[in-house]
């Protein structure tokens, strides 16, 4: 039975790292979840604990094809988000961001649903402004190896705001900064999962460049709370809004911390910096604080401890 205040919520990319945590939180709120994923990077393991929940439904589907369902809200998270995965099939990555956005926006328009777009800090490229506010237009190479993801997400934002202006569609756009936590893909090439897996296995930790480039790391629970806070706002708040942790660390600092926390004998080795790799990345979260009352609460060391425990269990099993 569905109660009057129960929503049917579609989460695309719902079997992925972020999507699975979002599905979990929405179910905890008492709503129904339709999880859609093509399992390119998502895994059944991420949602196995949700399958028996009567308010959870799983559908295998690629959002580059239209989807005909009846829902009240849509969270569009579908897209490979790490360079290893989005560069594997760059044309499909662009199609997922652009055609997928068109399909989700079309669905939202038909069923009159509020629709959420998971955008990215990659829209800022290799920034000349630091930290990055939402008003900054970015510095992106349109023809580089990362462009399929960067420009695909930028185009998706364009589509969302054109649907908002042209069709009065209620939209919410979040720009996600580096996020980590349990259920990250162990082979996705992202720095936190890379370092933890390497340290647990006693392998060398690979740093690209001299390790002085910086990132800001947000624990997944904080990020999902930011998603939900934005979705609950009125129609006048559309975003884009940065969601991330403004604490800034160099790659070298992160590697040393993970070696210490895992009590690993791993060494740090360097490799050439990949093309168009941003030198620094840190969110200005003033808007999130002012409009959503949101800011991250989980310190890096505490979040890493939970993530290390997850990967330690994952590797052993």
Active-site positions?
149
CA gap 163, 201 in Å, rounded? 48
- Give the pair of three-digit tokens for residue 246: 């403004």
Please give the C-alpha separations between residue 187 and each of 128, 163, 246, in angstroms, as whole numbers.
30, 36, 26
**Torsion sign across C-alpha atoms 67, 70, 76, 79:** negative
**184: closest CA among 297, 309, 63?**
309
Q: For the chain, what percentages of helix, strand and coil (3-state, to nearest 5) are there?
A: 40, 20, 40
What's the full length of the chain, in residues?
317
**Would strands 114-120 and 214-216 be described as parallel, antiparallel, or unpaired?**
unpaired
- Give the pair of three-digit tokens for residue 76: 């569009």
CA gap 93, 80 in Å, rounded? 7
**Torsion sign across C-alpha atoms 81, 85, 88, 92:** negative
Q: Secondary structure of 267-311 in the HEC alphabet?
A: CEEEECCCCCCCCCCCECCHHHHHHHCCCCCCCHHHHHHHHHHHH
| N-to-C CA span, the chain | 38
**16: closest CA among 73, 75, 72?**
75
DSSP letter (8 states) at residue 134: T
CA gap 78, 19 in Å, rounded? 8
CA gap 121, 219 in Å, rounded? 15
- The tally of CA atoms less than 13 A away on the side-chain side of residue 195 is 27
């Amino acid at each position: 039975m569905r109660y009057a205040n129960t929503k049917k919520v579609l989460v695309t990319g719902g079997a992925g790292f972020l999507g699975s945590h979002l599905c979990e939180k929405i179910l905890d709120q008492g709503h129904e979840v339709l999880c859609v994923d093509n399992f390119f990077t998502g895994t059944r393991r991420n949602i196995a604990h949700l399958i028996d929940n009567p308010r959870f439904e799983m559908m295998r589907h690629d959002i580059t094809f239209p989807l005909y369902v009846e829902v009240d809200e849509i969270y569009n998270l579908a897209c490979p988000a790490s360079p290893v995965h989005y560069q594997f099939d760059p044309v499909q990555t662009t199609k997922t961001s652009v055609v997928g956005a068109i399909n989700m926006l079309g669905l939202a328009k038909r069923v009159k649903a509020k629709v959420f777009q998971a955008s990215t800090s990659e829209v800022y490229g290799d920034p000349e402004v630091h930290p990055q506010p939402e008003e900054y237009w970015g510095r992106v190479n349109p023809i580089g190896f990362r462009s399929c993801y960067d420009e695909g997400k930028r185009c998706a934002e364009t589509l969302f705001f054109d649907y908002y202006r042209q069709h009065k569609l209620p939209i919410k756009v979040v720009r996600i900064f580096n996020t980590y936590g349990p259920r990250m893909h162990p082979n996705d090439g992202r720095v936190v999962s890379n370092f933890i897996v390497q340290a647990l296995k006693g392998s060398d930790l690979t740093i690209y460049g001299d390790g002085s480039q910086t990132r800001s790391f947000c624990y997944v629970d904080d990020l999902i709370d930011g998603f939900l806070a934005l979705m609950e706002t009125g129609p006048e708040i559309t975003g884009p809004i940065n969601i991330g942790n403004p604490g800034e660390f160099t790659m070298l600092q992160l590697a040393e911390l993970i070696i210490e926390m895992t009590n690993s004998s791993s060494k740090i080795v360097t490799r050439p910096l990949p093309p168009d790799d941003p030198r620094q990345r840190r969110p200005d979260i003033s808007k999130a604080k002012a409009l959503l009352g949101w800011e991250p609460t989980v310190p890096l060391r505490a979040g890493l401890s939970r993530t290390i425990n997850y990967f330690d269990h994952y590797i052993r099993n």
